[in-house]
Each structure stands twice: as structure tokens, then as C-alpha cells.
């Protein structure tokens, strides 16, 4: 897995931190609240932007 560098790129840094928060919330919903459908959808939607930004910046 490649190392993610966020130096001098505030957009990339913020989207990665947001994705981490979404993953943690999804885990909480699954483990504590036993909510599976919403947590899966939120995980897909909440991490899509960060994956696109990481992919786009690796093309540069």
C-alpha cells in the first residue's frame, strides 16, 4: 500500500480525515447500533471523494 502524503495539500488532508471519521462512524453504527444498511451506504458515499482525490493526485 502506498504511503499517503498530505504535505502542502489541505484539500487532500481534509478529505482523508473526513474519510477516517466516516469509517469510525460506520463501525460504531454496525457494532453498537446494529445498523447495517445505512452504515454500508454511508461508508461508500463518505469515502468516495477521498479515494478520487488520492487517485487524481497520484496521476500528477
Q: So where are the chain's domains?
A: 10-59
CB 30 within 8 A of CB 50: no
Query: 53 — phi, psi (to 5°)?
Result: -65, -45
Name residues whose C-beta falls within 8 Å of residue 40's C-beta, 6 or more positions apart in sequence.
26
What cell was used for 32?
A: 453498537
Confidence of residue 15 (pLDDT cuts 50, 70, 90): very high
pLDDT in tens, 28-42: 999 999 999 999 999
Confidence of residue 2 (pLDDT cuts 50, 70, 90): low
Place of cell 498530505: 6
What's the pTM? 0.78
Asked whether residue 12 carries a pLDDT value surpassing 60, the answer given is yes
Amino acid at each position: 500500500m502506498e504511503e499517503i502524503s498530505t504535505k502542502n495539500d489541505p484539500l487532500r488532508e481534509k478529505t482523508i480525515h473526513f474519510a477516517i471519521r466516516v469509517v469510525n462512524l460506520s463501525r460504531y453504527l454496525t457494532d453498537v447500533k446494529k445498523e447495517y444498511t445505512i452504515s454500508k451506504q454511508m461508508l461508500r458515499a463518505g469515502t468516495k471523494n477521498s479515494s478520487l482525490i488520492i487517485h487524481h493526485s497520484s496521476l500528477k
